A = this chain, B = another copy of it.
Amino acid sequence: MALIVQKYGGTSVGTPERIKNVARRVLETQQAGNQVVAVVSAMSGVTDNLLKLAHEVSSPEHPPTEREIDVLLATGEQQTIALTAMAINALGGKAVSLTGAQAGIQTDGVHTKARIADITPTEVHEMLDAGHIVILAGFQGQTRDGLITTLGRGGSDLTAIAMAGAIKADLCQIFTDVDGVYTCDPRVVPVAQKIDVISYDEMLEMASSGSKVMQSRSVEFAKKFGVRFEVRNSMNNNPGTLVKEEEPGMESVVVRGVSIERNQAKITIDDVPDRPGIASRIFGAINKANIVVDMIVQNVSWEAETDISFTCSAADLPKAEAELRKVLAELGPHASFRSQAGIAKLSIVGIGMRSHSGVAARMFGALSNAGINIQMISTSEIKTAVTVNESEIEQAAKVVHTAFGLDKA
């Protein structure tokens, strides 16, 4: 008998009919001889409706407090757990619902993006031992003082992975609307293949490079606590992608996947003094404006002045430009900047890169052969990323995918 945690997102439980489907799948998992905890999200649309109401009773000068937003939003998952438990009971199963608080999920007090501090799954164990399926509310917890909190984006994945760790589940299954993690987005590279096994670090690099199957946060949590999990499709029975700790054999694959991120922009600040404090002043200003900076490149300078480039989302470009204009005077007498939207990022990810040489060269060669110009280059231990013109990103992904032997046979 295995102990399995499953997670179903808002789309999978978006209608009464879909809740019944989830109920069937959960019940089948138990009937196959397992103990099951199913984590569910709010029905799709519910959270948005609640936020709309919140804004209707508030005002721009007095936006809703985060404490009350959490009290409000937590009702979405609470509704789904009750409905899912009912649906399982209607099929003749035995299910009980538990809110985050009832399941012993204790968080810090940072409303709307709380962190899980501790899990005391007494009630979960008792219910499982009594033969029940436990339907657990994702996305929510309770502070030590009994305040209702929510975990922010990707919170239900986090609930599933954290609970799987706390109850030492044999398997954690994250059900979503794709079959798993792919070597590249199949809409861009039709010959992309589903990845059977991927390490936490590779999954993290893929996520941060645009493959948004899961939030990095949940993967980081899983890595920290050694929770293996599988990303699967809730609409079929295909095997998914297993995300786990690194193992020796995994390095034999040089590149696990190719990830693309569109709608990027780059800014180059020219002729800034090559001395301490300059980068800090630039990115301090950018950060204060809540702009997420992705790649940062500064070349070795042989002169008194140097150039710094960075990328951000194209949507943030006007804000970034405005911030830079404010600090430009502080960046030395010759400083100026240029910007360009319409670029995209291409990354190759694989722990095999650590032990194989010539990986970057092979990537650059493939792009060169296709006549695609590389604008910026940034590397980490298990990732090499470049930016290209957005118009060339699909072709770039295809040729790199082929160059590393990732195409479906």
**B54, A68: Cβ atoms closer than 8 Å:** no
Stretch at the interface among A74-82, A221-229, A248-256, A290-298: A74-82
Residues of A at the B interface (CB closer than 8 Å) are 16, 19-20, 23, 50, 53-54, 56-59, 61-62, 64-65, 67-69, 71-72, 74-75, 78-79, 81-87, 89-92, 96-97, 99, 101-102, 123, 146-148
Q: Is the interface of A mostly helix, strand, loop or mixed?
A: helix
Contact of A90 among B23, B62, B83, B97 (CB under 8 A): B62
A50–B16 Cα gap in the complex (Å)? 11
A90–B16 Cα gap in the complex (Å)? 35
On whether A89 and B72 interact (CB within 8 A), knowing A16-B53, A102-B146, the answer reads no
**A71, B62: Cβ atoms closer than 8 Å:** no
**B56, A68: Cβ atoms closer than 8 Å:** no
**A72, B62: Cβ atoms closer than 8 Å:** no
**B90, A59: Cβ atoms closer than 8 Å:** yes
A58–B78 Cα gap in the complex (Å)? 17
Contacts of A146 in B (CB 8 A): 101-102, 123
Report the minimum CB–CB distance from A319 to chain B (whole Å).
27
A85–B148 Cα gap in the complex (Å)? 14
On whether A57 and B75 interact (CB within 8 A), knowing A62-B92, A68-B97, A123-B146, the answer reads no
Report the minimum CB–CB distance from A276 to chain B (whole Å).
45
**A58, B90: Cβ atoms closer than 8 Å:** yes
Residue of B nearest to A15 (CB): B56
**A57, B90: Cβ atoms closer than 8 Å:** yes
Contacts of A89 in B (CB 8 A): 58, 62, 64-65, 68
Report the minimum CB–CB distance from A176 to chain B (whole Å).
22
User: Which of A19, A67, A72 gathers the greatest number of chain B CB atoms within 10 Å?
Assistant: A72
Contacts of A65 in B (CB 8 A): 85-86, 89
Contacts of A57 in B (CB 8 A): 16, 19-20, 23, 83-84, 86-87, 90
- 18 residue pairs bridging A and B, Cβ less than 8 Å apart: A16-B53, A16-B56, A19-B57, A20-B57, A23-B57, A57-B87, A58-B86, A61-B90, A62-B92, A68-B83, A68-B86, A69-B82, A71-B82, A72-B78, A72-B79, A75-B78, A102-B146, A123-B146
Contacts of A81 in B (CB 8 A): 71
Report the minimum CB–CB distance from A67 to chain B (whole Å).
7
**A54, B83: Cβ atoms closer than 8 Å:** yes
A50–B79 Cα gap in the complex (Å)? 8
**B86, A54: Cβ atoms closer than 8 Å:** yes
Report the minimum CB–CB distance from A129 to chain B (whole Å).
16
Contacts of A72 in B (CB 8 A): 78-79, 82-83, 86
8 further interface pairs, Cβ-Cβ under 8 Å (given A50-B79, A57-B84): A23-B57, A54-B82, A57-B86, A64-B89, A71-B97, A72-B86, A99-B148, A102-B146
